[in-house]
Structure 1
């Protein structure tokens, strides 16, 4: 039993080490970084990488799924807060903090959209976020023209501060405070222009491979002149 358990422990240890090093490698060099380099960083042979992950897509999928699991772990604290406004605060703070510390996530999201466009486990959070927004607005603490997508975009914006690396970690809550102050309901709030984007459209856009070109106005002349 001991001899069988030890290889299993070693395999689990190697698996976790590969995931840790993959996060660091992909954050530094993108999701197309050589897997041989991943093996070197993890201190294992190249064959070990492929025993745990059949190919790059399998590794990326697992990183994506562990990210979704992280969000599930954060949900009880956020949704169980004593007030709707506190849920809003925790949502922005916890998710932005997670993204800042996980700069590989946007690239993994974009690649998953290419690997499997129909795979959208993150969309399951849409109703929970909408409910959080409705609760805070019913309290009168969140401005009434803010949507769930607005909050998700703000998380992405704050999370992008991770591009500055660890040197900015002591400072990013300055931007968080400014954002939260702008979200509070006040009689003199400047109205937000236009209607917000639908959540499913935002989900697909945020997982897109890259920016989509803006639509151009058709020329009135067939020649384009």
Structure 2
């Protein structure tokens, strides 16, 4: 193995270690936690941190983009499910777990709206959400009137358990089942009151929230 190859491998390993420790540090202390502490946790020098992330905004951007990539991976799974209802279950379960385990997400999203106000990658997922919603409604599994934005709001509600600390995370599967039962189509379902909001409007609200408010749809 050449020294150049070894150096690149070490750099990739350090990069991934920094991202892993940044997630843990931000979950504990917020996205303004000292980057010197990140270096200590990752077992590298401060210079290494700044070689990978010239400033805090660069680190925030990469964590945000990693979330977007996770959405893209999930999108393929949603489309591949056998039924629309299975896609609904998968979306709510996977995303609410992520939001619950990422308590710094609201602050991350707010910071991104300041770094790059016109960056709106979350809008890419409007189509696939409406697709799985319409599919589940057509199957007779999902109550009529539910929208993709409704699913996002429910993700946030379930994910808000993460704001209470790790001890609350085991409650999420129970609350998820309550939510799923409320989404099922039944002959005696009461029509949903009022119109839902547009996806773009929800995206705007989610990214311009005040830090500390749990809204986690990217």
| TM-score, structure 1 normalization | 0.89
Higher alpha-carbon Rg: 1
The equivalent residue for 1:164 is 164
Gaps of 5+ in 1: 212-225
Q: What is the CA-CA distance between 1:32 and the residue it aligns to? A: 1.1
The equivalent residue for 1:193 is 193
Q: What is the CA-CA distance between 1:106 and the residue it aligns to? A: 2.3
3-state secondary structure, aligned to 1:169: helix
The equivalent residue for 1:135 is 135
Distance 1:204 1:125 in 2: 14
Distance 1:186 1:110 in 2: 38
Is 1:208 matched up with 2:217? no
Aligned length: 211
| Deviation sequence 1:175-202 (CA, Å, 0-9, x none) | 0000000001112112221110100000
Q: Given that residues 85 and 136 in structure 2 are in contact (C-alpha distance below 8 angstroms), is that contact kept between their aligned partners in structure 1? A: yes
| Deviation sequence 1:45-96 (CA, Å, 0-9, x none) | 1111110011111110000000111111122222211111111111111111
Which aligned segments of 4 or more residues in structure 1 are displaced greater than 6 angstroms? none
Gaps of 5+ in 2: 212-218
Distance 2:207 2:191 in 1: 29
**CA RMSD after TM alignment:** 1.4
Of 70-79 and 151-160, deviating more is 70-79
The equivalent residue for 1:43 is 43
Q: Given that residues 27 and 104 in structure 1 are in contact (C-alpha distance below 8 angstroms), is that contact kept between their aligned partners in structure 2? A: yes
| Deviation sequence 1:143-199 (CA, Å, 0-9, x none) | 111111011000111111112333233331100000000001112112221110100
The equivalent residue for 2:85 is 85
Q: What is the CA-CA distance between 1:12 and the residue it aligns to? A: 0.8
| Deviation sequence 1:105-154 (CA, Å, 0-9, x none) | 22211110111111111210001001111111111111111111011000
Q: Which has the higher helix share?
A: 2
Trace 1:68-147 onto structure 2 (pairs within 5 A).
68-147=68-147
Distance 2:83 2:199 in 1: 23
